[in-house]
């Protein structure tokens, strides 16, 4: 009985981590670059896109549980998720594309949440926030961010 309850609790936690990752990735957008082209949207379109994004996150989570993911594989996963969503939902997306920066943010936050809850090891391109980053004075006076999120940044 305890193992079934633990499984239910674990599934609930994973689902919540996916949901807050998606919310964060979708809510921090520049008003000039929205996610959706609202003129072409139906009632269920956004829900379906988020459902497919959640499935992609779950698939990636399962891959991470099965073994190590290399840096190259992580970047390929980001590109594949982005391509899937862009190709499938181009009609409802702003400029017919799901932006790579949104994909990065959602996936990397999800992995960061998995890491901080001890569900997985520290992920590639983990967006380490100011609480965890050492101050520049401890890094020999480095003034820039020593923890870039990803080599894909700037391709947005």
Domain boundaries, the chain: 2-139
* Cβ contact 104:150 at 8 Å: yes
Write down the mean pLDDT value for the chain. 82
Q: Say how far apart CA 138 and CA 145 lie, in whole Å.
A: 13
Assign 134 a pLDDT band (cuts: 50, 70, 90). very low
Confidence (pLDDT) at 140: 47
How far, CA to CA in Å, does 106 sit from each of 8, 40, 70, 119, 141?
Answer: 23, 24, 19, 17, 31
User: What pLDDT, in 10s, does the model give residues 5-54?
Assistant: 999 999 999 999 999 999 999 986 678 889 999 888 988 999 999 999 99
What pTM was computed for the model?
Answer: 0.78
Which one is predicted more confidently, 143 or 52?
52
Mark residue 60 as left, alpha or beta (left: phi above 0; alpha: psi -120 to 50; beta: remaining): alpha
User: Is 70 exceeded by the pLDDT of residue 127?
Assistant: no
Confidence (pLDDT) at 106: 95
Overall average pLDDT of the 123-135 stretch: 54
Confidence (pLDDT) at 70: 85
Tokens standing for residue 99: 């932006």
* Cβ contact 141:132 at 8 Å: no
């Amino acid at each position: 009985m305890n193992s079934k309850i633990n499984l239910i609790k674990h599934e609930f936690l994973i689902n919540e981590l996916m949901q807050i990752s998606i919310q964060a990735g979708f809510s921090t957008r520049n008003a000039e670059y929205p996610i959706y082209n609202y003129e072409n949207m139906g009632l269920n379109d956004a829900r379906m896109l988020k459902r497919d994004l959640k499935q992609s996150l779950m698939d990636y989570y399962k891959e991470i549980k099965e073994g190590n993911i290399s840096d190259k594989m992580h970047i390929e996963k980001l590109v594949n998720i982005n391509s899937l969503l862009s190709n499938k939902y181009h009609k409802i997306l702003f400029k017919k594309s799901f932006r790579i920066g949104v994909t990065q943010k959602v996936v990397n936050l999800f992995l960061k949440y998995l890491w901080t809850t001890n569900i997985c090891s520290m992920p590639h391109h983990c967006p380490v926030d100011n609480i965890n980053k050492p101050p520049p004075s401890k890094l020999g006076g480095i003034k820039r961010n020593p923890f870039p999120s990803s080599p894909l940044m700037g391709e947005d």
